[in-house]
Structure 1
Amino acid sequence: MTRPRGASERFVAGLRPEIRAALTPIFSPLLQIEPTVEALDFGSAAGLIFTSSNGVGIAARLTADRSLPCFCVGRATTRMAVQAGWSATMAGESAEALIAGMLARRPVTPLLHLRGEHGRGEVAANLTRMGLRTGEQVIYAQRLLPFSDEAQRVLTGDKPVIAPVFSPRTARQFAGLLNGTPTLSVVAMSEAVKKPFENIKLSDLIVAKTPDADAMRDAIEIAVTRAIRVEGRPGAH
């Protein structure tokens, strides 16, 4: 698992019991999430936009203000915002879908996008250009990390390894660190996440049907089934 530890543990906990039983989770975050501000000021914002659970987690720690409605990308981010105390609506499964969903809803503006330093979709700029005045504030950094010692060990071993990868930046880091892994199956959240692995020899490369956690879990089930069929036994990482 290459996401930050908390997000990785929540993802694994959401797998079906029989799938979890076939796997040995190894946590090797390739990104470390660090706040870039000490406090939040929503100013005149009438609503907030979150495009990742990392943004929700950081914002929840930085402010006790839950008065504004939130518009989120994906079910997992929306659930996390609700659990943190916000009134949250899933506006789309990707940044592009969120923009379309916001244009259909026409919420009260201005809006404020709370995001990391690396993002895709230019949400605030595109919404503003299309008539929904939106500002943005970078509230966290994503520092790249190497593989853990345990991850290095299994990636150079002979047992099948399944790696869910959730973002293009993590995908580039992962692919750049690899050094010959014929037993590795990668489960990519989108075509953009898949791209860094296209010229690498892998056991399997699967793209989730939609860019969300539930579809990623479905894709992992496919990867586990294929690995067991090839190996003739469970025990993937």
Structure 2
Amino acid sequence: MLGSDWPVHVSPLTRIVPLSPRVGGGWGTIVVTSANGAAALGRLGLDPRIPVVAVGERTAEAARQAGFAARMRGPDAAGLARALIADPPPGPVLHLRGAEGAGDIAGTLRAAGLPCEEVIAYRQEDAVPTDAALSLLAGGAPVAVPLYSPASARRLAALPIRAPLLVAALSPAVASVAAAMAPERLVVASEPAGAFILRELRALVLP
């Protein structure tokens, strides 16, 4: 994708640990805000007849693959909350989320009079970078990095970095954390979706 001058090295900054909390029943709608949240739908034994609303089409597709009828209601958490307040879904609402997450969908919906509870379905932990990744970050050649969350940006910032960074951030919230690393270039995806962040990354490294 990036050409022979920019070999791709994969070294995740975050490790996902699935959890199996008790979620009970009686939910009218389920909200998922990540593919990891969607993956928890089946693991938690939720009824596949419950409609699912998702942040982003990728998350909605992950919910469909888990056997649930899902539709996207917003490109990010704030947009989804606005959509649900404007057009309330059947309640009560269950939000499956990770231990780390931007925004407070459950609190926002409750403040608008919609019953909503959140359940932590997975937690995020630091992943150990590969030796190759650490070597690249410690070198003198530019390193292009896509960052998908503020937590990932903080994890990157905690590593020893000497290389010039070219950062493509998923959102302004991610960019604000990444800016503390003083990257050589920092751009924000025009929409908070994977395809857009990869497009920005490509624009950073290709003439």
- CA shift, 1:22, in A, is 6.0
Compared with structure 1, are the counterparts of its residues 60 and 160 closer, same or farther at alpha carbon in structure 2 (3 Å cutoff)? farther
Does the CA contact (< 8 Å) of 2:141 and 2:163 recur in 1? no
Secondary structure at 1:177 match in 2? coil
CA distance in 2, matches of 1:116, 1:96: 16
Q: Give the structure 2 partner of residue 45 of structure 1.
A: 27
Does the CA contact (< 8 Å) of 2:41 and 2:66 recur in 1? no
- 1:20-59 equivalences in 2 (<5 Å): 23-37=6-20, 40-59=22-41
Paired AA for residue 30 in structure 1: L
- CA shift, 1:52, in A, is 0.9
CA distance in 2, matches of 1:223, 1:20: 12
Does the CA contact (< 8 Å) of 1:180 and 1:201 recur in 2? no
Q: Give the structure 1 partner of residue 115 of structure 2.
A: 133
Q: Give the structure 2 partner of residue 196 of structure 1.
A: 177
Secondary structure at 2:8 match in 1? coil
Query: Once the two structures are superposed, what CA deviation does each residue of 1:102-141 show, in whole Å capped at 9, x if it has no partner?
Result: 1122111101001111222211111012021111111111
Aligned with residue 110 of structure 1, among 89, 92, 102: 92
CA distance in 1, matches of 2:116, 2:133: 41
- CA shift, 1:41, in A, is 3.5
Q: Give the structure 1 partner of residue 195 of structure 2.
A: 214
- 1:147-158 equivalences in 2 (<5 Å): 147-158=129-140
Secondary structure at 1:147 match in 2? coil
- CA shift, 1:20, in A, is 6.5
- CA shift, 1:210, in A, is 1.6
Tell me the TM-score normalized by structure 1.
0.80
Secondary structure at 1:198 match in 2? helix
Q: Give the structure 2 partner of residue 5 of structure 1.
A: none
Compared with structure 1, are the counterparts of its residues 188 and 136 closer, same or farther at alpha carbon in structure 2 (3 Å cutoff)? same
Unaligned runs of 5+ in 1: 1-17, 230-237
Does the CA contact (< 8 Å) of 1:91 and 1:98 recur in 2? yes
Does the CA contact (< 8 Å) of 2:23 and 2:119 recur in 1? no
Paired AA for residue 193 in structure 2: D
Aligned with residue 127 of structure 2, among 145, 150, 156: 145
Unaligned runs of 5+ in 2: none
1:121 aligns with 2:125: no
- 1:83-102 equivalences in 2 (<5 Å): 83-102=65-84
Paired AA for residue 218 in structure 1: R
Does the CA contact (< 8 Å) of 1:181 and 1:201 recur in 2? no
Paired AA for residue 108 in structure 2: N
- CA shift, 1:64, in A, is 6.7
Number of aligned residue pairs: give it: 207
CA distance in 2, matches of 1:186, 1:132: 38
CA RMSD of the aligned region, Å?
Answer: 2.0
Compared with structure 1, are the counterparts of its residues 145 and 101 closer, same or farther at alpha carbon in structure 2 (3 Å cutoff)? same
Aligned sequence identity (%): 33
- CA shift, 1:195, in A, is 1.5
Worse-superposed segment, 23-32 or 189-198: 23-32
Aligned with residue 77 of structure 1, among 56, 59, 83: 59
1:176 aligns with 2:158: yes
Paired AA for residue 61 in structure 2: R
CA distance in 1, matches of 2:108, 2:75: 17
Paired AA for residue 215 in structure 1: F
